[in-house]
Chains A and B, each alone.
Chain A
Amino acid sequence: MTDTAISATTLTAQQYREARARRAKRAGLLKHVFLIATSLIMIYPLIWMISASFKPDNQIFGSLSLWPQTFDWDNYGQGWNALSVSFTRFFLNSTFVTVLSVIGNVISCSFAAYAFARLEFTGKNMWFALMMMTLMVPYHVVLIPQYLLFLNLGWVNTYLPLIVPKFLAGEAFFIFLMIQFFRQLPRELDEAAMIDGCSPFKIYWAIIMPLSLPAMATAAIFSFIWTWEDFLGPLVYLNKVEDYTVPLALRMFLSQDGASQYGPMFAMSILSILPIFLFFIIFQRLIIRGIAMSGLK
């Protein structure tokens, strides 16, 4: 009597398990269909742009096709020299601004983050609150007075307005990201180092920084991407074509008359995002972890 009761329940439990597994499999399949479809739509425009960069102008529009009938590398050669100044110059300009900005951001933001995360000083909480509030302030609000300031300093039409602020820890996002990381490091390390005769600077340099390379790399990568893509800053401060960064140069394609340069324009667009794309491929894990950790941008 008891035996049959037990086998009956085990049977139903097994059936239940099987039904559940079937359901889960079906749901998993549906999920993959949804995800694959979504990612195809997501990625389609980018692939289309790559293919368009190889097409002659007359094949670009009116077609969904991702495969050019003929591969036309000419667009790249033409695009590189399509403007009054060669793209060699634009890329060099962008590289110059970006490299210095990355260095400035990493140094100055890690300084501020170290002070907030590790040092005690009067008014710390107030400064921290103010720092977090600057996250909210749109660049447009400070743009005009900053422009007037740099105009008076004679810095307009130089790269200084684009670079100097990066050395003044203007990017609260990076400070926040680094603070989060520093706080995970045990405080006893600092204390051991203090007893070992380290000054605050030595603790920063010999203990905190070597242990925070992932955070520094994340900040450097984001700094690189944002500076490379920055449009408004160069738009306001750079007026001479030979000083232009790549995004400003790209825009010149749009303002040119006779708009028959779609192929070259796409070719240069592809080249302009290529560094970012490569960075993304290489540092994907750091970037994704950085976002999940800081919960920002």
Chain B
Amino acid sequence: MEKFFRRNFAGYAFLAPWLIGFFLLAIGPILASLYLSFTKYNIVRPPQWIGLDNYFYMFQFDDRFKKALQVTFSFVVISVPAKLIFALGVAMALDKGIRAIGWYRALFYLPSILGGSIAVAILWRQLFNYDGVVNSALRLVGLDGPYWLADPKYSLWTLIVLAVWQFGSPMLIFLAGLRAIPQELYEAAEIDAAGPLRKFFAITVPLLAPVIFFNLVLQMIEAFKSFSGAFIISGGSGAPLDSLLFFTVYLYDEAFSYLRMGYASALAWVLLLIIAAFTAIAFWTSKYWVHYENERG
């Protein structure tokens, strides 16, 4: 017993802050929100158990919930692949010792660093104004841009562009992955008379698959979590016509505008399950297309 204590003391002493945080701020709240999701709770009066009512209501009657799901899925499904393709394209252009790579890398990464800030969200609102920069640019080529922010048909695109604009971190990760592919493989392929397209699909893609997978999972989770851009650009409400009602925005609105803490907790759990499901699907399918080099047949 004494030996057991001595062996574990240092480890747990160093882990203590994290452990406290984990129980108080992570697992505790996750379980608490599961409980709250079965209640009606407005902070003023104590939580009142209502079973699965929040969930029934959500799936049967709540049109805003459905709208939020639709908006969020559209955002994830369009912005994540677009961002990754763009990131990979630029990374490939940067690979193989191009001149001034440091400059390009820094320039391309800068938006990712600033992109989460309110300043950029504010800027975006102005760029996509009817008489903003984007429409001015379109006018140069003779196009009449729409009311990006006021027209529900177009509003989501502003956020998709904002997301793709921040392609810097997946790009850096791709770049590191590309560097790890041995040059000899391309040379061997060249001797085998492979063209650029064939080299890309026969060497780059399979060898980069673990990195692509990693970026995919990560960016997906990030996309589901994203909040401040949508919050600022939609004025905090998901406007116009809830076309920017991200799940996170809806959740915030329910919790802190209407103080429906129980219902918002149910929304939180649905979000958690959606992310978990998407991640699980990604992992499950990955065994068909991701092969790790040190894997044994």
Identify the A interface with B (CB < 8 A): 28, 31-32, 34-35, 38-39, 42-46, 48-49, 52, 60-64, 108-109, 111-112, 114-116, 119-122, 124, 127, 130-131, 134-149, 151, 165, 167-170, 175, 199-201, 204, 225-226, 228-229, 231-232, 236, 247, 250-251, 253-255, 262, 265-266, 269-270, 272-273, 276-277, 280, 284, 287-288, 291-292, 295-297
Contacts and interface: CB of A to CB of B under 8 A. Distances in A.
> Chain B: interface secondary structure?
helix
A116 B7 CA distance: 14
Given A45-B123, A48-B133, A140 B271 contact: yes
Nearest to B162: A45
A30 to B, nearest CB: 9
A283 to B, nearest CB: 10
B194 interface: no
B268 A141 contact: yes
Contact of A144 (B111, B165, B261, B275): B261
Contacts of A147: 255
B140 interface: yes
Most buried by B among A141, A200, A277, A295: A141
Contacts of A114: 14
A49 B132 CA distance: 12
Identify the 8 closest CB pairs spanning chains A and B, nearest first.
A168-B21, A121-B11, A145-B29, A269-B119, A145-B32, A115-B14, A169-B18, A142-B29
B133 A111 contact: no
A34 B252 CA distance: 41
Contacts of A42: 107-108, 110-111, 165
Contacts of A137: 26, 30, 272
A140 B118 contact: no
A67 to B, nearest CB: 14
Contacts of A297: 169, 218, 222
B93 interface: yes
A273 B114 contact: yes
Interface string B146-179: 0000000000000000000100010011011000
B174 to A, nearest CB: 10
B197 interface: no
Contact of B225 (A122, A139, A255, A292): A139
Interface stretch (B49-57, B58-66, B98-106): B98-106
B232 A251 contact: yes
A221 to B, nearest CB: 10
Nearest to A269: B119
A35 B18 contact: no
Contacts of B289: none
A171 B146 CA distance: 41
Interface residues of B, number: 93
A34 B90 CA distance: 9
Contacts of B140: 64
A276 B255 CA distance: 31
B251 interface: yes
Given A250-B119, A295-B173, A43 B136 contact: no
B105 A288 contact: yes
B269 interface: yes
Given A141-B33, A288-B172, A272 B118 contact: yes
26 contacts: A46-B123, A48-B123, A62-B136, A64-B136, A64-B140, A108-B21, A109-B18, A112-B14, A115-B14, A121-B15, A137-B26, A140-B251, A140-B268, A141-B271, A169-B17, A200-B13, A231-B118, A250-B119, A254-B122, A272-B117, A273-B117, A276-B113, A280-B110, A292-B173, A292-B175, A295-B173
A38 B16 CA distance: 47
Contact of A226 (B13, B17, B116, B279): B116
Contacts of B126: 52, 60-61, 262, 266
Contact of B110 (A43, A49, A170): A43
B110 A250 contact: no
B62 to A, nearest CB: 17
Contacts of A124: 11
Interface in B16-31: 16-22, 24-30
Contact of A121 (B7, B172, B228, B268): B7
Nearest to B273: A141
Contact of B22 (A116, A134, A140): A134
B224 interface: yes
B98 A31 contact: yes
B243 interface: no
Contacts of A266: 122-123, 126
